[in-house]
Amino acid sequence: DTGVSQDPRHKITKRGQNVTFRCDPISEHNRLYWYRQTLGQGPEFLTYFQNEAQLEKSRLLSDRFSAERPKGSFSTLEIQRTEQGDSAMYLCASSPRGVSQPQHFGDGTRLSIL
Amino acid sequence: GQNIDQPTEMTATEGAIVQINCTYQTSGFNGLFWYQQHAGEAPTFLSYNVLDGLEEKGRFSSFLSRSKGYSYLLLKELQMKDSASYLCAVRVFYNYGQNFVFGPGTRLSALP
């Protein structure tokens, strides 16, 4: 168990640019989640995959955000035309099957928009 | 809508017993989780409740009352390393999937 891995750890970009983050879940976990967290707040749900299927997507998410998990393993989160308000920590989590199974979080990607 | 409330901050002395409350109004409830998050780090799992009652894991215990939409996390023998944010999260089921709704977190400071 090598844990959930996220890349990059930090991303600084100018407003209007596109960014892409990667998440590698724990290998036997079929469920994968993306969250956004700002300072002093709890994680805010963005989207959820079961294997390669994207089963839930937050209504708060604008169409500038898209996520994929093409082979049911790693996932990518892309933000197009970034805005100041996108500055946050983006967390990925994974969990195995089972209703009592908790999520295991990665260390996150911190995005700063200049 | 889905809503979870927790106190924003708490302070307690080393060795004390601390209770962190969480109230929720959600539809599709299917379990409540507590996570610990140290500053700048990822959340880590502490406990899980899906039925009413108390679950104990070492110095940490968690209680759930589904009829009242209420949970608490109990920390015994508070240590300095327990200074962190504590997140209450409710899992909700939809037709085809699930979602976790997190509260704002309670920032706990342990004092010597």
Per residue in A3-45, pLDDT (tens digit) is: 999 999 999 999 999 999 999 999 989 999 999 999 989 999 9
Tokens of B110: 């342990």
For residue B88, the chain A residue with the least C-alpha distance is: A42
What's the pLDDT tens digit per position in A39-87?
989 999 999 999 999 988 888 777 899 999 998 899 999 999 999 999 9
The whole-number pLDDT of residue A1 equals 54
Confidence of residue B1 (pLDDT cuts 50, 70, 90): confident
The 3-state DSSP class for residue B25 equals strand
Confidence tier at B111 by pLDDT (50, 70, 90): very high
Q: What is the pLDDT of residues B15-74, one digit of tens each?
A: 999 999 999 998 889 999 999 999 989 999 999 999 999 999 899 999 999 999 999 999
* Token pair recorded at residue A27: 């290998």
Point out the residue among A40, A42, A102 whose CB comes nearest to the CB of B103: A42
Min Cα–Cα distance to chain A from B75, Å: 20
Residues B30 and B33: their CA atoms lie apart, in Å, by: 10
Q: Look at the block and give the residue holding tokens 């750890």.
A: A9
Is the CB of residue B64 less than 8 Å away from at least one CB of chain A? no
Confidence (pLDDT) at A55: 87
Which pLDDT belongs to residue A19?
98
Residues A92-101: tens digit of each pLDDT: 999 998 878 8
B99 close to A (CB below 8 A): yes
In SS3 terms, B85-105 reads as EEEEEEEEECCCCEEEEECCC
Q: How large is the average pLDDT for residues B6-20?
A: 97
